[in-house]
Amino acid sequence: MRNYKLLGAYLLILGVLLFILGYVVSYEVLIAGFGISCIIMGSSLLILPLEEPIKAVNRGLLLTLEDMYSNLECLLKEFHMNRRGIYTPVLVGDYRTIRVLLPIEERIPKPAGYVGGLVHTSESSSLVVTPPGLSILNYLLESGHTLTSEELTSTAIEGLLVPLIDEIEICESISVGVAGEDITVLIKNPKIRFERFRDAYPRVAQCLGSIYASVVATLLSYALNTRLTVLSEDYDYNSITITLRVITGE
């Protein structure tokens, strides 16, 4: 679309020059006629509100996503849920995948062969949902990325999150800090901001975290094969700081 704007500016300047040359300097109407044609087309291209098709598609998808969030908000409200969800590796058939366990009671649900929906065990009840970000995880796995790590170090985790920059392009850079059981992920210059979602759907933000937090938690839960929860999120001018906590033991 930028090329059209450049063409428009070029035609407009060329048109003005031709018109002056043809009408004022030499009075050659053919040149002035070309000038008029170029001015009309150039100004049209400059004024047209052209935008990259992908931007329009993104906007549409974002609005659709907002509707999904609205549904999830209603569901969480129905169950009076406001506890933090636990990103948990689960086995579905032979595949290891990730689900979010949303505790209905105070007790932290134990990992089991959950697939989805309401799960009642003798010890706890929880709502099991697919995390936003699972499809990204699946896509990265299908693309051949090796998302496993035995180490809980900042370098190893940064390496795990690199595909989010290279393949998904969610932001410009990611840096990670590890302190004990807490993992702090700094997302710099995210391409799309979702603060509006956090304000409009507070239960979803409280239970699952933002979309970025959910994507990061899903990836890390899978890669580290451990249970994680989103502790906090801080939004800055051009960065988002997500703090995750590894849940160990029962």
Partner 1 sequence: MNKLTAYVLVTLLIMVIKNLWLKYVGESRIDVYFSLSLLIYLITTEIILPFKRKYRRTLSIIIGILIVIFMIIVARRIIEILY
Least gap, CB of 127 to partner 1 (angstroms): 43
Give the residues lining the site for partner 1 (CB under 8 A): 4, 7, 23, 29-30, 32-34, 36-37, 40-41, 43-45, 47-50
Nearer to partner 1, 1 or 162 (CB): 1
Nearer to partner 1, 35 or 132 (CB): 35
Least gap, CB of 29 to partner 1 (angstroms): 5
Three-state SS for the chain is CHHHHHHHHHHHHHHHHHHHHHHHHCCCHHHHHHHHHHHHHHHHHHHCCCCCHHHHHHHHHHHHHHHHHHHHHHHHHHCCCCCCCEEEEEEECCEEEEEEEEECCCCCCCCCCCCCEEEECCCCEEEEECCCCHHHHHHHHHCCCCCCCCCCCHHHHHHHHHHHHHCCCCCCEEEEEEECCEEEEEEECCCCCCHHHHHHCHHHHHHCCCHHHHHHHHHHHHHHCCEEEEEEEEECCCEEEEEEEEECCC
Nearer to partner 1, 43 or 149 (CB): 43
Nearer to partner 1, 36 or 65 (CB): 36
Least gap, CB of 9 to partner 1 (angstroms): 13
The answer to whether the beta carbons of residues 206 and 79 sit under 8 Å apart is: no
Least gap, CB of 50 to partner 1 (angstroms): 8
Least gap, CB of 43 to partner 1 (angstroms): 6
Least gap, CB of 3 to partner 1 (angstroms): 10
Nearer to partner 1, 34 or 235 (CB): 34
Nearer to partner 1, 32 or 157 (CB): 32
